[in-house]
Amino acid sequence: MAHATPSRLLRVDLGARTCESERVPAEWRRRFVGGKGLGARYLYEAVNAGTDPLGPTNALLFMRGPLTGYLPGEQRFAAITKSPLTGTFLDSYAGGSFPGALAGALGDHVGVLVTGDASDPVTLVVEDGRARIETAGALWGSDTSETCVAFPDAAVACIGPAGEHRVRYATIATDGGDHHAGRGGAGAVMGSKKLKAVVARGEPPTGHSDRRRAAAERFAADAVGRWQAASETLESAEFADAIGALATRGWQDDHFEGTADIGIEAVREAATGRERDDEQVPGGFRIETDEGESVPRGATQMTLGATLGVDEFDAVVTLGDTCDRLGVDVISAGNAVAWAILASEDGLLDRDLSFGDAAAARDLLDEIATRRTALGDALARGVDEAAAELGATDRIPTVKGMEVPSYDPRRAASMALAYATSDRGACHRRSRPIEREPLDSEAWSPDRAAQAVIAEQNTRSVLWSLVADDFLGAVLDDLGEAWLRAVGAPVPDDLSLVGERVWNLTRLFNVREGFARADDELPPRFTEPAGTESSDGPVVDPDAFERMLDAYYDARGWDAAGLPTADTLARLDLLDVVDDETPIGTTATESS
């Protein structure tokens, strides 16, 4: 069914048990569009500096975009909050059936903003443009699959045991754990509020079928579309391994001899089908496990395979399925287990752990999700806090407290810049120059690295404000302007400027929390060569990194401390947003 262009917001206070509807300022919709942008605007206003991410005054938003349900490919929703892992702005995305159902259930609303905490576990039911709070009853304690099955007539976004126990990298799962808003711990925020699930009953928006069909056909013919249809993200491990950038055995090596055993051919051989009955955009591969179906992604093979030294395909898929059901981010969890193995090898833990032992890794994942042991409890707080408490610092690289994904930047220094400047901590989704720099015949200058990273960060900020599949950007030459006009949504004067505006707004949120240049850091691990027997392998030179960071700040219009300047904020129409607690720069850094 067709829906009006969303122009309202549902505001829910779990403590007071109230659900109210309010109008979104028209100017906010024009300047920030939806999804990430509009969610960032609300979060910046709703959450004060120093707010405890796991306290009742933190806000958690479930946001749709103006194009949710209309575009081909994966429909997604944005979960936006202050991260309990990093203390930064956090936006995380999940797909499946839930985003479309949520869009239909919301009616004229762009999303739901949740504050407060319930006295007992609850669910939030959204339907017919309204929200109501219901008891979660016996669902508390269930895994993500069991929780979704409990609502056969609805689509569900929920937490598993990891969210209930406030593991700082707990996820929000949809479709029984096939999809996750994964990084940064939005699931822990749900758990702190005793919100077990958001239940959406609604039909996805329909209309513009000819336009949708044409976009799907164009995407299917595009190189990105052909790659996704053939492999989804499951060739990532083999690509990283081929260029010598696959984090292996706790970041000790950059090549994994078992990659082929867990790679795309192994997936194709084991797959029972694809997620969607859509030849043009078919989604991920379905794999049978002892517990049911699993849909592994590239991060599963890279982090739970290579980083843990596990080269048996079924074991890697089982580890991924374990994370999915517990509701824990595979990247942070895999790195946490790798840290424990390194600490064990160094004699810092009274625990016999080793790379390649999938059974021990699975046991430790359960300990993390339930926090039932001292080691599991320490790792549930993230690698940085575990290392500070137990020793073995600098073994596993992190940025702003978030564990680094398995693309090793020692083969592409621009990737170190992408990790360092990501607004939510180490992230490969904001920008992935590692796909290009190692293949280039010429070395990248600091300016080129900065421009490449900024361009992707801005573009993806637009796509995530539309809440579009970022792979679909391959066929949105105009960043979605024609689509916005077609559905009757407000159209900004310059969508590319929206991406830059949103990125600067999340930077303002972070600098208000005290983040500055020192937090846009190069992890020490990357200044040393990979390879247990190598001393002459590639490294990221600290001085070269600082020159890249200078070039990045200069191109962004930020000062030498990484603060957006008044001139930049004026150009981006953000000066009226800045509150008195947010420091801003006065003079931009000079180009290197």
Integer Cα distance of 519 and 59 in angstroms: 24
What is the overall mean pLDDT for the chain? 93
SS3 85: coil
Instruction: Give the pLDDT confidence of 120-167 residue by residue, as tens digits.
Output: 999 999 999 999 999 999 999 999 999 999 999 999 999 999 999 999
Least confident of 230-239, 506-515, 569-578: 230-239
Residue 419, CA atoms < 13 Å, CB-side half-sphere? 27
CA 23 and chain centroid, separation: 28
Q: What is the DSSP string of 469-531?
A: -GGGGGG-TTTTHHHHHHHT----S-HHHHHHHHHHHHHHHHHHTT--GGGS---GGGGS-SS
Neighbours of 52 (CB within 10 A): 12
Residue indicated by tokens 């906010």 = 28
User: Among residues 167, 143, 137, which one has the least CA distance to residue 156?
Assistant: 143
* Lateral strand order in the sheet of 195-201: 130-135, 122-127, 195-201, 155-158, 172-174, 179-181
| pLDDT > 70: percent of the chain | 98
For domain 409-571, say whether CATH 1.10.599.10 is its number: yes
The pLDDT of residue 363 is 98
Beta strand extents in 65-143 (DSSP E only): 77-82, 89-94, 109-115, 122-127, 130-135
For residues 275 and 95, the answer to whether their CB atoms sit within 8 Å is no
Integer Cα distance of 465 and 32 in angstroms: 7
The pLDDT of residue 431 is 96
Question: Which of 541-556 are b and which e, b meaning 16 or more Cβ less than 10 Å from the residue's Cβ?
Answer: eeeebebbbbbbbbbb
Instruction: Give the pLDDT confidence of 418-445 residue by residue, as tens digits.
Output: 999 999 999 999 999 999 999 998 999 9
For residues 195 and 66, the answer to whether their CB atoms sit within 8 Å is no
Whether residue 4 is predicted with pLDDT greater than 60 in this model: the reply is no
The pLDDT of residue 99 is 95
Looking at the domain that runs over 217-390, which CATH code has it been given?
Answer: 1.10.569.10
The pLDDT of residue 2 is 46
Integer Cα distance of 501 and 496 in angstroms: 9
For residues 470 and 96, the answer to whether their CB atoms sit within 8 Å is no
SS3 428: coil
Looking at the domain that runs over 8-201, which CATH code has it been given?
Answer: 3.60.9.10
Residue indicated by tokens 């969210």 = 163
The pLDDT of residue 3 is 52
According to DSSP, the residues that pair with 407 across neighbouring strands are 246
pLDDT confidence band for 1 (50 / 70 / 90):
very low
Whether residue 581 is predicted with pLDDT greater than 80 in this model: the reply is yes
Integer Cα distance of 416 and 436 in angstroms: 14
User: Among residues 219, 230, 234, 277, which one has the least CA distance to residue 72?
Assistant: 219
DSSP state, residue 578: -
The pLDDT of residue 441 is 86
Instruction: Give the pLDDT confidence of 525-551 residue by residue, as tens digits.
Output: 999 998 755 567 899 999 999 999 999
Instruction: Give the pLDDT confidence of 276-320 residue by residue, as tens digits.
Output: 877 778 888 988 887 778 888 889 999 999 999 999 999 999 999
582 in the Ramachandran plot: left (φ > 0), alpha (ψ -120 to 50) or beta?
beta
Q: What is the DSSP string of 282-334?
A: --PEEEEETTEEE---HHIIIIIIITTT---HHHHHHHHHHHHHHTB-HHHHH
For residues 157 and 177, the answer to whether their CB atoms sit within 8 Å is no
Mean per-residue pLDDT, 502-519: 98
The pLDDT of residue 591 is 43
Mean per-residue pLDDT, 100-127: 97
Boundaries of CATH 3.60.9.10 in the chain? 8-201
Boundaries of CATH 1.10.569.10 in the chain? 217-390
Q: CA distances (Å), 412 to each of 125, 166, 291, 434, 435, in order?
A: 46, 35, 39, 6, 9
